């Protein structure tokens, strides 16, 4: 892993350092965690945009997608009651 320097406002640096200190970690680890969250947020934003685009530009394709999703849900509902008992947090 190579190391680099980035320029940020000193108030931002101080805020990051304070959070890192409070968590008992380094600023590098804190920034890595933040980058992972931001990347995940970006992926979900792109997925949501693709759904909106499909809905807007291809209503027939969107309806087919929803039908397929409903079929899949119906086929898997109750398929494994043991799993529902093992992970009750997903059964809300």
pLDDT digits (tens, 9 = 90+) for 5-53: 999 999 999 999 999 999 999 999 999 999 999 999 999 999 999 999 9
- Give CA–CA dist 92/83, Å, rounded: 14
Q: Please, which pLDDT band fits residue 75 given cuts at 50, 70 and 90?
A: confident
Domain presence at residue 58: yes
Please state the rounded mean pLDDT for residues 68-82. Answer: 74
Residue 38 lies in a domain: yes
Q: Tell me the Ramachandran region of residue 24: left when phi exceeds 0, alpha when psi lies from -120 to 50, beta otherwise.
A: left
Residue-level pLDDT at 71: 86
* Total number of domains in the chain: 1
Flag whether 88 is in a domain: no
Please tell me whether the overall predicted TM-score, pTM, comes out greater than 0.85 for this model. Answer: no
Q: Find the angle CA(78)-CA(86)-CA(67) to the nearest 5 degrees.
A: 35
Q: Is residue 87 part of a domain?
A: no
Asked if residue 84 is part of any domain, the answer here is: no
Query: Is residue 86 one of the residues assigned to a domain?
Result: no
Q: What is the span of the domain harbouring residue 28?
A: 11-78
pLDDT, residue 88, reads 73
Q: Where are the alpha helices (DSSP H) in the chain?
A: 10-23, 27-57, 59-76, 81-86
């Amino acid at each position: 892993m190579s190391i680099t320097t980035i320029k940020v406002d000193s108030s931002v640096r101080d805020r990051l350092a304070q959070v890192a200190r409070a968590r008992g970690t380094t600023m590098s680890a804190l920034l890595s965690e933040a980058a992972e969250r931001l990347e995940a947020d970006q992926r979900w934003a792109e997925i949501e945009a693709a759904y909106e685009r499909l809905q807007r530009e291809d209503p027939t394709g969107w309806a087919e997608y929803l039908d397929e999703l409903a079929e899949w849900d119906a086929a898997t509902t109750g398929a494994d009651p043991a799993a529902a008992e093992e992970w009750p947090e997903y059964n809300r």
